[in-house]
Amino acid sequence: MSGRTPAPSRAAPLVAPPVRAWNRLSLRLKLTLGYALIFSVSVLLGALCVYVLARGSLTSTLDTTLEETAALARGNLLGSGMGLRFTDALQPPPELSIELISPDGRILDVAGQPVSTATALMTTPARLGTYTYRDRRVLTVALPDQPFLLQVSRASDTLTALLETLARVLLAGSGLMIGLACLAGYYLADRALKPVDAVARTADTITRSGSYRGRVPPAPGSDEMARLTGTVNGMLDHLEATIEREKSFARTAAHELRTPLTALQGRLELALERPREAADYRRSLEIMQGRVDELLSLAQGLLALAETDRPAALELMNLSTQAAEVTGELHDLSQRLGKTLDWRQATPEPLAPWVWAEPLGVRQVLRNLLENALKYGGNRVEVQVTPHAFTVWDSGHGPQPQEWARLARPFERGAGLQGVSGSGLGLPLVMALAQRWDARVEPLWEEGGFGVRLSWDARDPGNLN
């Protein structure tokens, strides 16, 4: 048998039962209980203050009565020494007792209701001032130039009963107010959280049914709950628009991909239908290579358009540098098409061409616009760099103004251009990238040409925000 003691197992941390019970409560009950606790403490503190103030006021009134009675008794003394007595004119109320006390505590004379026939209501040694003793309120004062004490007292049972009644009233009233406050708090919490319930029900309905067209009933007014329901409905509107756009995009992309794939499949079936000469096979392969190139171009355009949804990584960049590089890269294409291509900076300001954007994205935008201008535009193409903007001009007439909105959608082509190579994704990609950079795309129809302008708001080059 081994003498080694087994190591104690580590138990999972336990949550205290009160904490578990609290976590299981609804938010309404938590708000109600929290409000009730704060209100109860406030009410009970208020009741305690009322009780303390009332007791102090009543006791002060009683002490004032004792002091006035003592002053009256001092004015109604006759004789001197052990023969000192009260006059017959001193007739205090029945509830008061006035006693003349010797230094050894013996009662020499009494006016009013006698308290005790033996010793006075005072402590040993004699205690001067006002105090409570044996259920009576007592005032003991020393007589001037005399070794005697004057003691005035009154039963405090009336004061005690009054204070007890006040305490019961305060407790009952506090309990009633706390109960009503709990009901009112729960009612208010329930009304305040109804929009949250509506949001939860709508989200659950969307999750269960898959239908994203449900909306939350708008809360009235302009408070936080109204803003919450408005924000949620706005989010659902944006979500619905995004889903519909993605579904439409997917349908259109599938259609656009089907066309070259069908043509490629037909060419393959035709080539494999029967044995052919090597030249025929080569011609078929060249045609299929062209179809594959179209598919690659379309796939690259779709990928670039899909990547515009990711967060933008903006950099401070020079438009003139990008314009010079892209026009240089497309110089051979312009020569093959028999067109002239150039760029110029329309302002000498040193900060004019600097903007916040993505360098690769700006190059893509310039390339797409220049390729469109070279394919479909006039014989002269130019990039003009202006303050915080650039414009791609050509000497052609451009598309019809009413067609611009349609051409900004994916896979749309201009009228009469179906025979020209292209995917219909160039301009939509330009629009999506401009939106990422908070830039604006504007078509410009002017005498002698057509242009597309991309512009940014003027911003401090040293401040990205």
Domains of the chain (ranges plus CATH)?
A: 19-209 (no CATH), 224-304 (1.10.287), 313-413+424-455 (3.30.565.10)
Tokens of 208: 């269960």
What pTM was estimated for this model as a whole?
0.48
Q: What is the pLDDT of residue 350?
A: 63
| Residue 49 pLDDT exceeds 90 | yes
What DSSP designation does 356 have? E
Confidence grade of residue 48 (pLDDT, cut at 50, 70, 90)? very high
Q: How far apart are CA 383 and CA 397, in angstroms?
A: 17
Confidence grade of residue 452 (pLDDT, cut at 50, 70, 90)? very high
Residues in the chain: 465
| Residue 14 pLDDT exceeds 70 | no
Q: Averaged over 28-53, what is the pLDDT?
A: 88
Q: What is the pLDDT of residue 420?
A: 54
Q: How far apart are CA 124 and CA 449, in angstroms?
A: 119
Confidence grade of residue 464 (pLDDT, cut at 50, 70, 90)? very low
Confidence grade of residue 296 (pLDDT, cut at 50, 70, 90)? confident
Q: What is the pLDDT of residue 172?
A: 92
Evaluate whether 165 touches 51 at the Cβ level (below 8 Å): no
Q: Averaged over 375-393, what is the pLDDT?
A: 90
Q: Averaged over 160-168, what is the pLDDT?
A: 89
Q: Averaged over 377-404, what is the pLDDT?
A: 89
Percent of the chain scored above 70 by pLDDT?
83
Alpha carbon of 271 to those of 117, 264, 275, 292, 296: distances in Å?
140, 11, 8, 16, 22
Q: How far apart are CA 445 and CA 447, in angstroms?
A: 7
Confidence grade of residue 391 (pLDDT, cut at 50, 70, 90)? very high
Q: Averaged over 426-446, what is the pLDDT?
A: 87
Please state, rounded to an integer, the average pLDDT across all residues of the chain: 80
